[in-house]
Amino acid sequence: MNRITIKSPGQIEKMRVAGSLVGRTLEYVGSLISVGVSTYELDREAEEFIRKNGGEPSFLGYNGFPASICTSVNDQVVHGIPSKKVHLRDGDIISIDCGAIVDGFHGDAARTFLVGNVDESTRKLVEVTRECFFKGAEQAVEGNHIADIARAVEAHARQHGYGVVRDLVGHGIGTDMHEPPEVPNFTDLRIGRGVKLYEGMTLAIEPMINLGTWRVVLADDGWTCSTADGSPSAHYENTVVVKKNSYEVLTNPQS
């Protein structure tokens, strides 16, 4: 879909089903996280859970991506590839990004999980990144613009001195996993206010926040995006629907 779409109540109901599956998958995979587990095992479990519950993993094969979830550990920001060689260690953080399609509609969400005893400053980063999502989502109401979401996310992250990733952004979502408009986590004169929001628009809002610099680098695998200074990074995402005076999270906000 190369244009912004307004979803009907029936389509939003389908997105609730897909979103709920994504939320439950993340909850399930989160419950498996412990010292020693490999990111490959987490991917196997996620794929099985999605299929068993009537969905298909959106990420598998997307532009050639080889797995059903992205597993990004510590300084990896997003798009980490699950591997038999990567075993979680005490003190790690791991961002898991998951997408599923059910009956033609996608859900997309991410959580950053703590592994064992994580140091205070990194725990805080994870907590504030989650808060950034909700600050942004509160702006996802009819009549606002995309930049209102971006400004709210950015302001909360900056207040804590964190770097806000600029190279990757959130997005519209529906029958395609990535639809317009882009949903940045930063404001920029070049971008301006962005498009106006209307009830029925569905957006993946996804702050990617770094403890250090906002700058990121791409690994040789062509996927894994890491912080340029090696500092930890957190990611928190939900699929939301814009309403008249509120927003609704479709991917299980409790987790």
For Mg ion, the closer of residues 21 and 204 by Cβ is: 204
For Mg ion, the closer of residues 110 and 241 by Cβ is: 110
Residue 97 CB, nearest distance to Mg ion (Å)?
Answer: 4
Q: Please report, as ranges, the residues that interact with Mg ion according to CB under 5 A.
A: 97, 108, 110, 204, 237
Burial of 217 (0-12, 13-18, 19+ CB in 10 A): middle
Residue 72 CB, nearest distance to Mg ion (Å)?
Answer: 11
For Mg ion, the closer of residues 47 and 237 by Cβ is: 237
For Mg ion, the closer of residues 97 and 179 by Cβ is: 97
For Mg ion, the closer of residues 12 and 110 by Cβ is: 110
Residue 173 CB, nearest distance to Mg ion (Å)?
Answer: 7
Residue 206 CB, nearest distance to Mg ion (Å)?
Answer: 5
Q: Are 250 and 238 in contact (CB under 8 A)?
A: yes
